[in-house]
Amino acid sequence: MEIQYIKTIYIEGLAAKIKRIRKEAKLKVTELSKAAKMTRAYWYAIEGGVITRIPETTLRNIEEALQVDLGVKMLCCDTASSTISDSTHVHQEKKGESEVGD
C-alpha cells in the first residue's frame, strides 16, 4: 500500500533566486527549460512569480538544470515517531502516547 504525503511550504524569494542564478550564469531559458522538462513559458512563469506553486519534482528539475542546490529541504515523515510494525498495523508514538490501528 502507498500512503501519499503532501506538504506545501512557502519559500520567500525563490522565484527571484532562480532568475538571479540563471542571469549570473548567463544561461538561456531555452536550454534550461528543456533540461528541466518544461516549456519556456512555464519557466518564465515560475521566475516571474505567475506560477506560485510547483511540485517538488519540478523544483528538483530546475536545480538539476541550473546545477545548483536551492536549499529547499522537504522532510516527509518524523521517522523517530512512526514505524510500520507489519502489513496491517501502523504504530505511532508521540509524546509518550501510543496508538495502534487496524
Q: Which domain holds residue 40?
A: 14-66
Tell me what pLDDT residue 100 has. 47
Q: What share of the chain has pLDDT > 90, as a percent? A: 62
- Residue 21, domain member (yes or no): yes
Give the pLDDT confidence score for residue 89 in this predicted structure: 35
Is 5 part of any domain?
A: no
Q: How many domains does the chain have?
A: 1
Question: What CATH number is associated with residue 26?
Answer: 1.10.260.40
**Alpha-carbon gap, residue 87 to 71, rounded angstroms:** 35
| Torsion angles phi and psi, residue 91, rounded to 5 | -110, 125
Determine the pLDDT at residue 6. 82
Is position 76 within any domain? no
**Residue 61 located in a structural domain:** yes
pLDDT beyond 70 at 51: yes
* CA contacts within 13 A on the Cβ side of 73: 3
* Residue 102: all three cell numbers together: 487496524
And the C-alpha cell for 60?
A: 528538483
| pLDDT tier at 7, thresholds 50, 70, 90 | confident
